[in-house]
Amino acid sequence: MGKRVLVISNMYPSNRTPTYGIFVKNQVQALREKGVQIDTAVNKDNRGGKINLLRKYLLWLVKILIRLITNGRKYDVVHAHYIFPSGLPALLFKKLFKSKLIVTSHGGDLDQMAKKNKLIFRMTKYILKEADHVIVVGEALKQEVTEEFGVDKNQVSLINMGVNRTVFAPTDSEKVKKELNLSQESFHILFVGNLIKAKGLKELITAFQRLPDKNAELHIIGSMKDEGFLQELKTDVASEYKDAVHFHGTKDQQTLGRWMAAADLFVLPSHIEGFGLVALEAMSCHTPVVGTDVGGLHYLLSDGAGILVEPKDASSIQQGIEQAMASRELREEMIRKGEAIAEENDEKTLLNRIIDLYNN
């Protein structure tokens, strides 16, 4: 009989925001397909503002309390995604019912949340110390958890979210371009991620508009958290580039796989990035990647697997894009190395490691 698991996450997709915490949902679905019994207590609301924050977190807490009251003692494992806040209610199950507590850090919970104030830092440290096991999605996070928060390295596993190589698969680029009504003559640059400042979109748009090669198009896919920021980005696009910069909104995973296979270059200009799963998904589609030298991207794109550029620096991003555009041989080399990395990070292999942690 397998273990019964409760997943608690403060980020999870909904019909309105299908990419919000999509990697958590993908992992839950993949684990269910492998026969793991999983329930969820998750927040699907990504809206900001004090009233919304209060409402969504109260609603989420009610969901968790219902699980606690009705099924609390049935769960062998409680798996919290994001140390704080998710790890806090997850601790209740451990304290009350002796459930095994596993927490996954995705980056923002350490790089941003834990640094907001001393109280959150102390709570983050407490949750990490109380957890039976900590999963981190990147090498830099592992160092932070063991060195800055003092967690025993034997209690920490580096397991990223993994890539679904069936969805994110190499496909004939010309054929997919035709299906997506993309010009065969243009060089197509793609960004996928939440439309927030920390993803470096303002710098990306500036870098794109400075490219000497005017035969390029920029495609931006992702969910909007703030209507004002999206309008700001659109205002940043100069009138002569209105037909070259495209905002496509959100796409489901299957469609994303096709966009990544169609793109000539994938760019991830984040200010912080725990792992950079979308970059791995692009590599899995045989699309070369330019990414900022932050967090997990530092390791993922090292040794020529991608081009690393400086964060918050439009000129550096521009140079990285130009370098990739200028050399087919360089792009082919990145594709070759990216394939090996995608194979290493196939979600099927990584899911078995998580199941081992549940059962251990």
- pLDDT tens column, 192-208: 999 999 999 999 999 99
Sheet containing strand 100-105, strands side by side: 37-42, 4-9, 77-81, 100-105, 133-136, 156-158
Identify the pLDDT of residue 1: 53
Percent above pLDDT 90 for the chain: 86
Identify the pLDDT of residue 306: 98
Identify the pLDDT of residue 94: 97
Identify the pLDDT of residue 274: 83
189-248 tens-digit pLDDT? 999 999 999 999 999 999 999 999 999 999 999 988 788 999 999 999 999 999 999 999
3-state secondary structure of 171: coil
Q: Which one, of 163, 165, 136, 168, lies nearest residue 350 by Cα?
A: 163
> SS3 breakdown of the chain: % helix, strand, coil, rounded to 5?
50, 15, 35
Mean pLDDT across 337-352: 94
Query: In order of start, what are the domains of the chain with their CATH numbers?
Result: 4-162+346-359 (3.40.50.2000), 173-344 (3.40.50.2000)
